[in-house]
Amino acid sequence: MGTVEPQVASGQDVKMASSGQIVANAQSQEATDGFHLVIDALKLNGIDTIFGLPGIPITDFTRMAQAAGLRVISFRHEQNAGYAASIAGFLTQKPGICLTVSAPGFLNGLTALANATTNCFPMILISGSSEREIVDLQQGDYEEMDQLAIAKPLCKAAFRVLHAEDIGVGIARAIRAAVSGRPGGVYLDLPAKLFAQTMDAEAGKKSLIKVVDPAPKQIPGADAVKRAVDLLKGAKKPLIVLGKGAAYAQADADIRALVEKTGIPYLPMSMAKGLLPDTHEQSAAAARSYVLPEADVVMLIGARLNWLLSHGKGKTWGGKDHKDWGGQKFIQVDISPQEADSNVRIDAPVVGDIGSCVSALLASIGSSWPKPPAEWLTAIAERKNKNIAKMAETLAKNPTPMNFHSALNVVRDIVKANPDALLVNEGANALDFTRSIVDMYQPRKRLDVGTWGVMGIGMGFAVAAAVVSKQPVIAIEGDSAFGFSGMEVETLCRYNLPVCVVVFNNNGVYRGTDVNPTGGPDVAPTVFVKGARYDKLIEAFGGVGAHATTPAELRKAMEEAVRSRKPTLINAVIDETAGTESGRITSLNPTSGKKK
């Protein structure tokens, strides 16, 4: 328990009355304060790291947290600290903590909080805030903002603590809200005055709560499991889709057993890659556009039928038009009962935590489950092998200048040789090509733009991945995407993190070839400074910079980075004509209906 000097005469006990005034009695000598109660409550609940950015009113808090043994990772921009916290939550199942200053700092962290909620990552954004009386009367305080009201619609839950004796409850509620049920982002508002409040140390200690069973198991109903298994039994062309909820659940062995015992082909969503090794013979990733419309029964495990799965309908699923259903029957394994029927009919919802659901499914299928019909498996294998062979051909080419494929062929080898390494990935083409070219071999190693396709997660995710896992991290970044968090290379260097950033530099957003149609002096909106040397950025902070124009140079630099574990940034020069508008999601760009 952290203690502070009492603010009353020695020999007297101090206590906060609900009015916020200090009440003294002559019992004990020790007092604590809001700063220490927050730190103690976090520590009591197993939180060991805070990602944040110091400033009024939380500067002293960061110092005290560090002094109390918490790891405090300071960033250059709150959004990156927020992304770091959110992915730490995904990796550990404990809420990632992001700490920011009031109004603008809070807003900077809010994007990451909203992104965490959208992606079902457990995270708590703790923000200092200004004086309530002044904020509520809108009298123009320093960094005045009604942060709680603004955060509420963007997160799973939002709380404010006004009195030191309520800190224990506030932290407990935030933890439970973040990790129980469908995980998500939680906002915790701590006004500046709270930190300074003092109370009796013993009473403070007693007010803290160690949360018991923060993410309780949710056991699926036996009838729901039977319904799902019956449906699966009758399938001629079954398919399993694994989503990042399945990766989050850390039920790796059971998920693998379910896939292997049933013999059903599976499709990993982006962040579920590696849950089973991508080289697994049952992976249908390389036959995606064949299996989705052809499957008759699809079991979704921790994957939503959102835009990434074309809402479960339309041509992707064999529907005649974009709103037509393809006729598949769906089983959906998910912790959120409201998720079912969000887009199309779910014939067999199985609601519960994935660990419990998968183990119930395993028990129900028993040991003599018939393999899916051979025609289905053969047809998939044919498509898949054709695609893989085509890909191998493309990867073997060595064009000048280097393109996405020849560069990613190197990354693919490095990841294969270092399966423990985490791969962070963002961009448009840099994202899409990496996803299909670079195989993953272990669960929760691929961290990317997620449900929103957000740009800017790169360095925040890389920092947290290195801090949490202690493993090497490889960040494959489009040059545009890198720009959102590029300043954090200083953070990589400051904490000496084993992160190898590879910037795929093709001189612009998507490509570097657009021209200004007016012929004016400004370049086109998608074009950057040509021939930029991103490697020089990290050198400014003592990291290793490398400039690679060929696959051989890239290989050498990446091998050295992984071997040395030194923070490294490789400027990988990619053909500026390579890449397509928005990568694989060009169709999402609106085109004018106006006749020319």
User: How does DSSP assign 52-120, residue by residue?
Assistant: E---TTTHHHHHHHHHTT-EEEE-SSHHHHHHHHHHHHHHHSS-EEEEE-SHHHHHHHHHHHHHHHHHT
- Asked whether the beta carbons of 237 and 65 are under 8 A apart, the reply is no
Residues 255-294 contacting ligand ADP, CB under 6 A: 269, 271-272
* 275 near ligand FYN (CB under 6 A): no
211/173 Cα distance (integer angstroms): 9
CB of 76 to ligand FYN, least distance (A): 23
Tally of CB atoms within 10 A around 370: 8
Cβ neighbourhood burial of 565 (10 Å; 0-12, 13-18, 19+): middle
- Asked whether the beta carbons of 356 and 217 are under 8 A apart, the reply is yes
199/165 Cα distance (integer angstroms): 8
One residue of 205, 315, 555, 584 binding ligand FYN per CB under 6 A: 584
One residue of 8, 68, 196, 308 binding ligand FYN per CB under 6 A: 308
Tokens of 314: 């339309």
431 binds, among ligand ADP, ligand FYN, none (CB under 5 to 8 A by kind): ligand FYN
One residue of 111, 387, 442, 526 binding ligand FYN per CB under 6 A: 387
Site string for ligand FYN, 337-376 (x = CB under 6 A): ----------------------------------------
Counting residues that bind ligand FYN (by CB under 6 A) gives 21
Stretch of residues binding ligand FYN (CB under 6 A), selected from 133-141, 240-248, 297-305, 432-440: 432-440
Cβ proximity to ligand ADP: between 129 and 356 the closer is 356
- Beta-ladder partners of 126: 99, 188
H/E run at residue 536: helix 535-539
Stretch of residues binding ligand FYN (CB under 6 A), selected from 76-84, 112-120, 284-292, 365-373: 284-292
CB contact set of 107 (below 8 Å; sequence gap of 6+): 145, 150
Cβ proximity to ligand FYN: between 565 and 584 the closer is 584
Give the C-alpha distances (Å, rounded to integers) separating 566 from 411, 498, 534, 571: 18, 5, 17, 16
* 573 near ligand FYN (CB under 6 A): no
The DSSP bridge pattern shows strands 22-25 and 13-16 to be: antiparallel
288 binds, among ligand ADP, ligand FYN, none (CB under 5 to 8 A by kind): ligand FYN
One residue of 243, 458, 460, 579 binding ligand ADP per CB under 6 A: 243
407 binds, among ligand ADP, ligand FYN, none (CB under 5 to 8 A by kind): none
Nearest in space to 87 (alpha carbons), one of 171, 185, 174: 185
387 binds, among ligand ADP, ligand FYN, none (CB under 5 to 8 A by kind): ligand FYN
* 248 near ligand ADP (CB under 6 A): yes
One residue of 99, 179, 354, 377 binding ligand ADP per CB under 6 A: 354
CB of 486 to ligand ADP, least distance (A): 26
Contacts made by residues 316-325, CB under 8 angstroms, sequence distance 24+: 316/289, 316/292, 317/292, 317/293, 318/292, 318/293, 318/294
Site string for ligand ADP, 297-326 (x = CB under 6 A): -----xxx-x-x------------------
CB of 368 to ligand FYN, least distance (A): 32
Nearest in space to 444 (alpha carbons), one of 304, 268, 282, 567: 268
* 465 near ligand FYN (CB under 6 A): no
Stretch of residues binding ligand FYN (CB under 6 A), selected from 224-232, 285-293, 370-378, 521-529: 285-293
Cβ proximity to ligand FYN: between 32 and 283 the closer is 283
Strand extents, DSSP E, 295-413: 297-301, 329-334, 348-351
Cβ proximity to ligand ADP: between 125 and 335 the closer is 335
Cβ proximity to ligand ADP: between 249 and 421 the closer is 249
Stretch of residues binding ligand ADP (CB under 6 A), selected from 65-73, 76-84, 332-340, 456-464: 332-340
Give the C-alpha distances (Å, rounded to integers) separating 548 from 332, 394, 442, 531, 556: 45, 20, 28, 12, 9
Q: Is the dihedral of CA 34, 38, 39, 40 positive or negative?
A: positive
One residue of 453, 524, 539, 556 binding ligand FYN per CB under 6 A: 453
- Asked whether the beta carbons of 485 and 458 are under 8 A apart, the reply is yes
Cβ neighbourhood burial of 593 (10 Å; 0-12, 13-18, 19+): exposed
One residue of 289, 398, 564, 580 binding ligand FYN per CB under 6 A: 289
Stretch of residues binding ligand FYN (CB under 6 A), selected from 179-187, 513-521, 560-568, 578-586: 578-586
Q: How are the residues of the chain apportioned to helix, strand and coil, as percentages rounded to the nearest 5?
A: 45, 20, 40
3-state secondary structure of 126: strand
Site string for ligand ADP, 98-137 (x = CB under 6 A): ---------------------xx-----------------
Strand extents, DSSP E, 484-567: 499-505, 544-548
Residue listed under structure tokens 């020849």? 406
CB of 449 to ligand FYN, least distance (A): 5
Tokens of 446: 């691929």
- Asked whether the beta carbons of 105 and 113 are under 8 A apart, the reply is no
39/68 Cα distance (integer angstroms): 8
CB of 579 to ligand FYN, least distance (A): 11
* 582 near ligand FYN (CB under 6 A): yes
CB of 272 to ligand FYN, least distance (A): 11
CB of 106 to ligand ADP, least distance (A): 25
Cβ proximity to ligand ADP: between 215 and 501 the closer is 215
Q: Which residues bind to ligand ADP, rule: CB under 6 A?
A: 119-120, 182-183, 243-245, 248-249, 269, 271-272, 302-304, 306, 308, 334-336, 339, 353-354, 451
Q: Which residues bind to ligand FYN, rule: CB under 6 A?
A: 270, 285-289, 308, 387-388, 391, 428, 431-432, 435-436, 449, 453, 582-585
